[in-house]
Structure 1
Amino acid sequence: MATTEVKPSADKNPKRIRNPSLGPNKDLKKKKKTKKSKALAFDKTLEKSNRNEQKSENDGDEQPDSQPASASEQLSFFLNQLESAIGVRVSTIELDPIKDKCIVELSQRLEQNVSNLGEHIKMSYGSSWRESLCEGELIEGKVDTGSPSVLVVSSSALRSLELLRGLHSLTKQCPAVKLFSKHLKVEEQVSLLKKRVNIGSGTPSRIKKLIDIEALGLSRLDMIVLDMHTDVKGFSLFTLPQVRDEFWDLYKNCFHQKVLEGSLRICLYGPKPSAPKVKNNKKQRQNQH
């Protein structure tokens, strides 16, 4: 009886096994590229989301039924936060001399986003903006070293860098100083603060440390810009655990007395408490009468 030889079946896709050793390597490379592309896509989506959130907040402020918070409303909000955080209450006698000039009222024509920060600060200084914010020459006896006119305080190093981008037009001649700890040593910052400084941007803990070691001066400080932006998790300078405590420690020890003396202004930059509830209360009273 003749035996029938069974031939192996032909591979329907011979190209796939032409060089089997390349298969796994190619797959790994593809996976790495896929992960990288996904990470980049996530970053872009995150940035777009932040822009959209900021835009929607600003658009909301422009609606006729929701007026932007006035200076007095912003001051009330800030003092409530102060009392809640550290139990410091400002009396009416202390408040009366400063309440009209304590809070910086920003232009309603410009959105309060990163790109407009420099323009807002410039407008708040009026005709003296160039001398206070731009000039880089150190004048002995008139301009103290390491003493900025403006301090921008935010909840993270990344956010501090973002805000510095908005200040670029003011810092070409006299660069702003980065006052946060990420990738920056105290010694480096001390060296930078031996020059004229007009603007600093950083986080509460590092700002406080540099003040404590007398590297960062407050003799020229005229305005603190407090970033009201919320991150992707909904936290801000006033609500992020630990950072919130560090900020109020900084404010109480370094800024509060200057605010009471009327020599330091507070700028709440970004989404603020609005006034609809106050309006509704007024309407209710009118209806009751």
Structure 2
Amino acid sequence: MAKPQKHSKPNGRNNNNNLKPKTKSSKKLKKPKQKLPPPPPPPLPPPAAPELLTTASQQLQFFIQQYQSANGIQLSSLELESFTDACVVKLSESIPQDVSNLSEHMKASFGSSWKEALCKKQLPGKSCEPGSPSLLTISLSALRSLELFRGLKTFTKECPAAKLFAKHLKIEEQVSCLKNHVNVACGTPSRIKKLIDMEAMGLSRLSVVVLDMHTDVKGFSLFSIPQIRDEFWELYTTHFHQRLLDGSLRICLYGTIDANNFRRRMKGKSEADK
């Protein structure tokens, strides 16, 4: 009787090899390392606060340098001695020099006589040159003059102020206004000079001239736009210079003046002149 054939036990390893499809061996692909973004730069230090010309001496020096630069002259030491700190109105450093505080600064500038000089109508029996303001503000534009005009409304309730600029105002209207008693006037250099030359505006009572140091959105100011700057210095040399030296008139540089910016400009000009 034939013996049954013995079947060998299945080999697991061989079976697995047989069941799984053979594939080419491949190395594991390494994922590229992601580059991290560069660290942000360190924050810039806050800009240094501008060094402001606050003392009367500093402001006077600034004014003289502007005067010499605009007129292409160099004053002698003897001529410079005629300028004293008393030529400049010293404003309070505790009150910001903006439009809303202009009237407060002017009260302090005129002292105890501010009401009579800036508010009152002409007193009966007192002779006074018509159209001769006690306070005059000079700005680079009609719009800025209007802003300062509004800042002085404390003084204009009894005695209206004069608007002395060309935009939207005829010179005949201004001449008519100046035939009356005027304490305060606000305007631009060209129109003010024209009215003085016409003898429509008087200077007998003029005590303080406010020079608006405000810069507009483009960074321009009374002293930086060539045409307006030249018109102002022509007005100053013709009508204000001698009065400033003899003490009957004071100037007020109203607004912040960046000393660093001023020095850079002066340095650049001096290098250009070499």
Scaled to the shorter chain, the TM-score interval is: 0.7 to 0.9
Mapped contact 1:114–1:166 kept (Cα < 8 A): yes
Cα deviation for residue 277 of structure 1 reads 10
Task: Name the structure 1 match of 2:34.
Answer: none
C-alpha displacement at 1:247, in angstroms? 0.7
Equivalence for 2:231: 246
| Separation (CA, whole Å) in 2 of partners of 1:254 and 1:148 | 14
CA–CA separation in structure 1 for the residues paired with 2:148 and 2:52: 25
CA distance in 2, matches of 1:157, 1:179: 8
1:131 to 2:116 alignment: yes
Per-residue deviation, 1:69: 2.3
| Partner in structure 2 of residue 76 of structure 1 | 61
> In 1, Cα distance between the equivalents of 2:158 and 2:74?
41
Cα contact 2:52–2:257 (8 A) shared by 1: no
Higher helix share: 1
Structure 2 match to 1:282? none
Among 231, 252, 264, the residue aligned to 1:267: 252
What residue in structure 2 maps to residue 104 of structure 1? 89
Q: Which of the residues 184, 196, 202 maps onto 1:211?
A: 196
Aligned twin of 2:20: none
Instruction: Check conservation: 2:164, 2:185, Cα contact below 8 A.
Output: yes
Residue 220 (structure 1) aligned with residue 173 (structure 2): no
1:177 corresponds to: 162
1:87 deviation in Å?
A: 2.8
**Deviations 1:194-224 (CA, angstroms, capped at 9, x unpaired):** 1111110000000000000000000111111
How many residue pairs get aligned? The number is 216
Aligned partner of 1:157 in structure 2 is: 142
Q: Distance in 2 between matches of 1:153 and 1:277?
A: 20
Q: Unpaired runs of 5+ in structure 1?
A: 1-58, 279-289
% same residue: 59
Uncovered stretches (5+) of structure 2, i.e. residues with no partner: 1-47, 264-274
Listed one character per residue, the Cα deviations across residues 153-172 of structure 1 (whole Å, up to 9, x for unaligned) are: 00000000001111011111
Classify 1:158/1:67 alpha carbon distance in 2 versus 1 (closer, same or farther; 3 Å). closer
| Distance in 2 separating the partners of 1:106 and 1:143 | 28
Alpha-carbon distance in structure 2 between the residues aligned to 1:215 and 1:138: 21
- Bigger Rg, structure 1 or 2: 2
Letter in 1 for 2:129: D
